[in-house]
Amino acid sequence: MLDLQSVGMEKGMLYETIITTVNSDNTPNAAPIGVICKDKHEIVVYLHHGSSTIKNIKKNHFFIVNLLKDPIIFVESTLGNPSPENFIEFQGNCSIKKADAFFLAKVNDLKDVEKEDQFGISKTSIVRANVKEIIIKNDCVEPLNRAIYGVVEALVYLTRKDMVSGETEKLYNLRMKEISRIVSKVGSKEHKAAIKKVMDAWGK
Ligand SMILES: Cc1cc2nc3c(=O)[nH]c(=O)nc-3n(C[C@H](O)[C@H](O)[C@H](O)COP(=O)(O)O)c2cc1C
């Protein structure tokens, strides 16, 4: 059986995916969700309460993780749902037609916790799931990780540093801090080493 390495997912890394589930009225649902690769056949997701995704997963115990980089699908899945013709049925679940790859995940543990983050305390479900079946539709599939984009953005600000002052400089300082936080959260060792070099140069 294929494992998560076959779609480029590395242990310990967080990827931005589209999770598709089935609503109680049998319509498909899609939402962008961060998926942590725990092992070759295991993932973890943190789901804030209130979304259709967590309701559907609690009820059905199965969901599909879609790997793709289509910007419109990301936007439509955040604002609502892509129209029904964007979905395709897979073993009683649904996936996104345009996905470069997708896999079926089966919940093996679900814990409700109260989590504190920068936005306050919220109810979250920590869902561990086993990877059941992986379908690769595009051999060039590459899971989406935000770290490299953060490093590139930070470098762009760094090359402009001497050109700005006052309010713009303050704004750039805030952005650099936020980019550094994100890269440290979602990046690999290499991404973290890279952003540290950029931040050191920024502080000089
Ligand atoms: C890139 C991205 C990643 C996201 N990751 C998560 C996540 O890991 N957990 C979560 O609960 N919501 C996450 N969200 C927010 C949900 O996608 C959003 O609340 C969505 O509207 C939920 O849709 P639903 O009600 O159809 O499930 C993320 C949003 C974006 C844009």
Are 183 and 128 in the same domain?
Answer: no
Whether residue 142 is contained in a domain is answered as no
* 53 Cα nearest atom in ligand 1: 27
Q: Using one digit for the tens of pLDDT, what is the confidence trace for 168-189?
A: 999 999 999 999 999 999 999 9
Are 98 and 195 in the same domain?
Answer: no
Most ligand 1 atoms within 8 A of CB, residue of 44, 51, 66, 185 to mutate: 51
Are 117 and 168 in the same domain?
Answer: no
On the question of pLDDT at 2 being above 90, the answer is no
Are 72 and 164 in the same domain?
Answer: no
If pLDDT is split at 50, 70 and 90, which confidence band does 120 have?
A: confident
Over 107-143, what HEC string results? EEEEEEEEEEECCEEEEEEEEEEEEEEEEECCCCCCC
Bridge partners (DSSP) of residue 127 are 45, 110
Are 125 and 167 in the same domain?
Answer: no
* 29 Cα nearest atom in ligand 1: 26
Are 77 and 132 in the same domain?
Answer: yes
Whether residue 141 is contained in a domain is answered as no
On the question of pLDDT at 36 being above 90, the answer is yes
Domain that holds residue 59: 4-136
Are 26 and 75 in the same domain?
Answer: yes
Whether residue 104 is contained in a domain is answered as yes
**Domain CATH number, residue 38:** 2.30.110.10
Are 14 and 109 in the same domain?
Answer: yes
On the question of pLDDT at 1 being above 80, the answer is no
pLDDT, position 151: 98
**In angstroms, rounded to a whole number, what is the distance separating the alpha carbons of residues 38 and 13?**
8
Residue 37 carries which DSSP code? E
Among 103, 136, 169, where does a domain finish? 136
Q: Does 53 contact ligand 1 (Cβ within 6 A)?
A: yes
Are 110 and 16 in the same domain?
Answer: yes
In which element (H, E) is residue 180 found? helix 166-186
Burial code of 91-127, b = ≥16 C-beta within 10 A, e = fewer? Answer: eebbbbebbbbbbbbebeeeeeeeeeeeeeeeebbeb
CA 20–ligand 1 middle distance (angstroms): 11
Overall average pLDDT of the 31-45 stretch:
98
Nearest CA, atom 14, ligand 1? 33
Are 127 and 153 in the same domain?
Answer: no
Q: Is 105 helix (H, G, I), strand (E, B) or coil?
A: strand
Q: Total domain count for the chain? A: 2
CA 50–ligand 1 middle distance (angstroms): 10
64: nearest Cα among 101, 27, 36, 98: 101
pLDDT, position 90: 97
Are 31 and 72 in the same domain?
Answer: yes
Q: Does 34 contact ligand 1 (Cβ within 6 A)?
A: yes
Among 86, 111, 136, where does a domain finish? 136
CA 193–ligand 1 middle distance (angstroms): 28
Whether residue 113 is contained in a domain is answered as yes
pLDDT, position 15: 98
**In angstroms, rounded to a whole number, what is the distance separating the alpha carbons of residues 24 and 63?**
14
Among 95, 113, 136, where does a domain finish? 136
Are 66 and 115 in the same domain?
Answer: yes
